[in-house]
Amino acid sequence: MHTIFKRALSLGVTAAMIFSLVACGSKPADDASQPDKDTAKQPSYVFTDNMKVFLSNVDVKFTQQEADYVKLYSKSEMKDGGTVIEIDPTRTYQTIEGFGAAFTDASTHLLTQMPEDKLNEVMTSLFDPNDGIGISIVRNPIGACDFSLDYYTYDDMPEGQEDFELAHFDGSRAKNQIELVKKAMAVNPELKLLLSPWTAPPWMKTIYQYEGINSPALRRECYGVYGKYLAKSIQLYEDEKVPVWAITPQNEMFLPAMWAGMVWDWESMALFVNDYLRPAIDDLGYKTKILHLDYTWTWVKEANNMLASSLNTSDGIAWHWYGGKPEVMQETYDTFPDKIQLVSESTSTRPASVSKNLRVTTMITRSLYSGAGGFMLWNLVLLPTGGPALYPTAYTNTPFISYDPETDTMNYEADFYNMAHFSKYMHVGGKKVYSTDTGADSEYNMVNVAVLNPNGTMTAVMVNATEDDTLCKLVMGDQVLEVPVGRDSTVTVTWDARG
């Protein structure tokens, strides 16, 4: 057994006016997280001597270190040198929603070919908070995505025919995905489900095709039926007692993709969410959240405009890491501190390397530091050679686990261990807390983030992508925890912080 282990405003008002009003009316992040002036009411947080430390570098992957790896002493004894990181757990920020990856068609296809004992092992390794890495969010495509075996939706019709009553809606191809989510939820009851469509049925689009190339859009007369289509897609899971935590209305909404896709402008998307999608979900009695964008940090202006234009009908932004910088999320957090931000897709490429591992842990750390409540990689399981997928370059993507059904052999890939640095000890419902920003002055080669968990434990992650070893000195109150963080390494420290 392998046990290593988230129609309020009229569109007639310009987005700029709405955005300005929201920005002026929202409470700054620091104001929202200042400690109570009556310090007697504040809990006392400490470093304790029962901490655990995990290291990844060129030699080891998420490997627990001996107790003497770290050194705890009084602040009065601290000498100059090293990287000093002040931590203040009384200054809290966004809530941790979770960490995970996707049950794509490719992953589902491979997982359903595993013998029962191997599937149970994988489920434990991925989702068990104690004996695994505690994945807490999964993302399921609605219909075909780039990692599918063929193109399909839940209401396919021959060209020239339509189905505005959704009489031919057929979600049977989601059955295996639903069963896998149910199995994962049995292992981790806190698991959240995010759904994302890549395309509407072709008969609803301005061009009859599954692919996003040539920029097909949703026909205006199909806004209502597409809202109901997505709501019925949620119902597929809800009918099986699988709650759908959130949905993104479109994967990569501005991309004319060569795989399944559909393009939107931000104004049309805000209108669709306000007038069609939110009402369709509400009509079925579901509390599913709606996250805008599902695309890169490059589109922060459009993301904020959509959010400002649908404050009462949407719940946040889903981001991808393929463009821009994670620090732009700080602007969104400062303006909309009560809305969710989640990195919903990212992926490493083959072959694995130390620099790629550091990119993953660095980007997760920077994202959490900048306002994200969670982070997701892409496929849970792929073939050792990549795929199966609908386009050739997808075969360079890496999963958490590689599996070859012909030989019944599997391998835990680097991203499994990269994610473990966060998913294992940063718990759903925790809060990101203040820690010194070490990224801006190091070109983001030395980054950190700290989280206070609901059970009173704390977890800090430090990533050193510089050319030099360093001693990180975590300062909390009158205590200092000295942690060696070698070059090209990621270190997670977790401890019971209750005084």
Say whether both 375 and 449 belong to one domain: no
Q: What is the pLDDT of residues 146-181, one digit of tens each?
A: 999 999 999 999 999 999 999 999 999 999 999 999
Same domain membership, residue 149 and residue 62: no
> Is there a single domain that holds both residue 459 and residue 321?
no
Same-domain check for residues 297 and 439 = no
Question: Which pLDDT score is estimated for 230?
Answer: 99
pLDDT over 90, % of the chain: 88
**Mean pLDDT computed over 66-91:** 96
Residues counted in the chain: 499
| Residue 30 pLDDT | 42
The answer to whether residue 143 sits within a structural domain is yes
CA distance 60 to 414: 10
Domain identity same for 197 and 58: no
Beta strand extents in 122-168 (DSSP E only): 137-142
Boundary of a domain, candidates 425, 448, 478: 425
What is the per-residue pLDDT for 44? 86
Q: What's residue 401's pLDDT? A: 98
Domain-embedded: residue 177: yes
Average pLDDT, the chain: 92
CA distance 339 to 72: 37
Between CA 167 and CA 171 the distance in angstroms is 12
Q: What pTM does this model have? A: 0.93
Hey, CA dihedral for 153, 156, 160, 164, is it positive or negative? negative
Query: What is the model's pLDDT at position 351?
Result: 86
Q: How many structural domains compose the chain?
A: 2
Percent of the chain with pLDDT over 70: 91
With respect to residue 18, please indicate whether it lies within any of the assigned structural domains. no
- Report d(CA 87, CA 451) in Å as an integer: 10
pLDDT for res 179: 98
Lowest mean pLDDT across 29-38, 247-256, 274-283, 373-382: 29-38
Same domain assignment for residues 111 and 68? no
pLDDT at 19: 42
Q: In this predicted model, what pLDDT tens digit does every residue of 19-52 receive, in sequence order?
A: 444 444 333 344 333 444 344 466 789 999 889 9
Whether residue 403 contacts residue 383, with contact meaning beta carbons closer than 8 Å, is answered with: yes
Judge if 413 and 308 occupy the same domain. yes
Indicate which CATH number applies to the domain containing 81. Answer: 2.60.40.1180
Q: Are strands 316-320 and 289-296 parallel, antiparallel or unpaired?
A: parallel
Structural domain that includes position 88: 43-94+432-496
Owner of token pair 């491979």: 110
Asked if residue 278 is part of any domain, the answer here is: yes
Task: Calculate mean pLDDT across residues 62-78.
Answer: 97
Q: Summarize the confidence of residues 425-437 as an average pLDDT.
A: 98
Residue 395 and residue 322 share a domain: yes
Q: What is the CATH number of the domain that holds 332?
A: 3.20.20.80
Q: What angle do CA 464, 470, 472 make, to 5 degrees?
A: 85
* Cβ proximity of 352 and 386 under 8 Å: no
Which of 393, 425, 457 represents a domain boundary (last residue)?
425
C-alpha closest to that of 313 among 263, 398, 249: 249
Which of the four pLDDT bands, split at 50, 70 and 90, describes residue 254?
A: very high
Within-domain flag for 368 = yes
| Domain co-membership, 89 together with 103 | no
Is residue 274 within 8 A of residue 7, CB to CB? The reply is yes
Q: What string of DSSP letters covers 389-453?
A: -SSGGGGGB--SEEEETTTTEEEE-HHHHHHHHHHTTS-TT-EEEEE---SGGGTTSEEEEEEE-
Tell me the average pLDDT across 204-213. Answer: 98
Q: Please tell me the predicted confidence (pLDDT) of residue 49.
A: 84
Question: From CA 305, how far away is CA 302, in angstroms rounded?
Answer: 5
Extract the tokens encoding 13.
Answer: 């008002």
Give me the DSSP letters along 260-327. Answer: B-----HHHHHHHIIIIIHHHHHHTT---EEEEEEEEGGGHHHHHHHHHTTTTT--EEEEESSSS-GG
| Residue 121, in any domain of the structure | yes
Instruction: Give the whole-angstrom CA distance, residue 412 versus residue 135.
Output: 15
- Are 478 and 365 in a shared domain? no
List pLDDT tens digits, range 124-148: 999 999 999 999 999 999 999 999 9
End residue of a domain, out of 425, 452, 471: 425
Are 68 and 195 contained in the same domain? no
Query: Is 210 contained in some domain?
Result: yes
Looking at residue 12, its pLDDT comes to 38
CA distance 380 to 169: 28
Q: Which two tokens stand for residue 152?
A: 């399909």
Contact by Cβ (8 Å): 99, 375: yes
339 shares a domain with 205 = yes
At residue 392 the predicted structure's pLDDT band, cuts being 50, 70 and 90, is confident
Look at residue 50 in the predicted model and tell me its pLDDT: 86
Residue 367 lies inside a defined structural domain of this protein: yes
Query: In the structure encoding, which two tokens stand for residue 6, read together?
Result: 């988230």
pLDDT at 18 (0 to 100) = 42
